[in-house]
Amino acid sequence: MSNDVEPEVNDRQIPVALSSASVYPLSVHDAFAVAQDLGYEGVEVMVTNNAVSQNPDALIQLSHRYHQEIVSIHAPTLLLTQQVWGTAWNKIEKSCQMAADVGCDTVVVHPPFRWQSNYAENFVEGVREIAARYRVRIAVENMYPWRVRGREAVAYLPHWDPLGQDYDDVTWDFSHAATAGANSLEAIKALGNKLRHVHLTDGSGSGKDEHLVPGTGTQQCADALQHLAATGFDGVVVAEISTRKAKVAGEREEMLAETLRFARQHLSVPMLRSVDN
């Protein structure tokens, strides 16, 4: 008897979706249109001040019109969306309700800011309870330390790094990892089955949250995607790059097309299984 390893084609192709944040400052409508044009397999909706991003009926109409599944809702837990949907817990509740309304099962949230002490104190338990009530996955995203005058400042509680935290589900963002000086490949391996969702992008490690096209930074994105494919990852990979600097016609679309090509190339590897001879 021997435990040889032979390739086995994975019956499930990992979907590659487009975050509406990737077309900013264009609209949510544009995100669905671009996703269809380029061949993406769904859209993650970032809830912002934009009325359409907050309207499940409008999102369902866009989903049907452009034949794009809504794969996830990104709750308005960013610093720039603090005025959207009121209190921190209300943001989570309404995002989960929207996910249920549009028919997706994943909600992406950021960890609490340090000044949200009461929210942070019960964050893990509260997220778990709300996820169970709405029957969705609330995937907490990795962030990064803030630096003020060269010194690290505590910005998030319980921590910017989800490793070691008692979360059921995690979103991993390659750009945030680069900003934090983290190793995405090692982190993804360490997270194991807790990894629910991936924001595909890259960063140079400059200390800025750059959201580069994958493969143009330092985060071993290719190896990480190959690892996900080989180990049967059952979540979704979402392109979340910054195209705000696109200046000429077609430049934004080319960046998003390159991101999709990169994802498909490195997710198209066989699973490995052990066989006894």
- Whether the pLDDT of residue 7 is over 60: the answer is no
- Whether the pLDDT of residue 148 is over 80: the answer is no
Q: What is the pLDDT of residue 8?
A: 47
Sign of CA dihedral 83, 109, 172, 102: negative
Q: What is the pLDDT of residue 276?
A: 44
Q: What is the pLDDT of residue 11?
A: 59
- Whether the pLDDT of residue 120 is over 60: the answer is yes
Q: What is the pLDDT of residue 150?
A: 66
Q: What structural domains does the chain harbor?
A: 13-267 (3.20.20.150)
Select the more confidently predicted residue: 31 or 12. Answer: 31
The average confidence (pLDDT) of the chain is 91
pLDDT digits (tens, 9 = 90+) for 216-266: 999 999 999 999 999 999 999 999 999 998 888 799 999 999 999 999 999
The pLDDT of 82-95, averaged and rounded, is 95
The pLDDT of 90-98, averaged and rounded, is 97
Q: What is the pLDDT of residue 135?
A: 97
What pTM, to 2 d.p., does this model score? 0.91
Q: How confident is the model at residue 79 (pLDDT cuts 50, 70, 90)?
A: confident
Give the list of residues 6+ apart from residue 65 with CB closer than 8 angstroms, or none: 32
What element of type H or E holds 107? strand 106-109
Select the more confidently predicted residue: 271 or 167. Answer: 167
- Three-state secondary structure call for residue 70: strand
Q: How confident is the model at residue 269 (pLDDT cuts 50, 70, 90)?
A: low
Q: Which residue is it, tokens 């960046």?
A: 255
- Separation CA 96–CA 105 (nearest Å): 8
Q: In the chain, pLDDT over 90 holds for what percent of residues?
A: 81
What element of type H or E holds 261? helix 251-267
- Three-state secondary structure call for residue 69: coil
